[in-house]
Amino acid sequence: MTARLILPLACLLPSLAFAAEAIEPGRIVSAATGDWDKNGASDLALLVKPDEGTDEDNAVYIYLAGEDGPLALKSAIPNKVWGQYGMVGQAPSVTALSNGSLVITTHNDSVGRDRWEQKLTIAYRNFDFVVAGYTYSSYDTLNPDNTSHCDLNVLTGKGKWNDKPVSFKGELVLFKDWTDDRGQQACGIY
């Protein structure tokens, strides 16, 4: 095998090992079923907490089912979704929408005076998962006038911040490549 092939294969090994690991049921934080690829079969999305003693965020596993076949892992993304399972007011969740999209919700409803909620709408496009929408809302428990709400369509680059229209560069961002600061910058959060 040539050196040109060894390096790319070596880079794939950590992700392949992650995808092949067995998921202990006690690590599953949230699950949702729906038809992500719109083929008539029920698919599955899981949020999975990291191993004990790590400072990583939750992983996301998304499985697709063939029309007559078993579920197959389509996407395994480690260290992706913030949230403390078992911590009141900070557990993340995944839900299915009737249109075949997923919503991953993270929030802080319990610690400090700054409370917030963030939602990522994930859609299956061009044989991969992309971020279609980003919603962020916050409020200050000591200052009721200090609130914000931002709702963006990441694909079109249009949205609203505190009921005022905003625009930004719309783009097709793969979910595995998404970072929350993209949405926060478009919302003017920092």
Residue spans per domain, the chain: 24-187
Q: How far apart are CA 140 and CA 147, in angstroms?
A: 7
- Three-state DSSP at 184 gives helix
pLDDT of residue 187: 86
Predicted TM-score (pTM) of the model is 0.85
Q: How far lies 122's CA from each of 53, 107, 134, 145, 155, in Å?
A: 29, 17, 9, 31, 11
pLDDT of residue 154: 96
Show Cβ contacts of residue 156 under 8 Å, excluding neighbours closer than 6 positions.
170
pLDDT of residue 19: 46
**pLDDT less than 70: residues of the chain:** 1-21, 85-86, 190
Q: How far apart are CA 153 and CA 41, in angstroms?
A: 27
What's phi and psi for 139, nearest 5 deg? -155, 160
Average pLDDT over all residues of the chain: 87
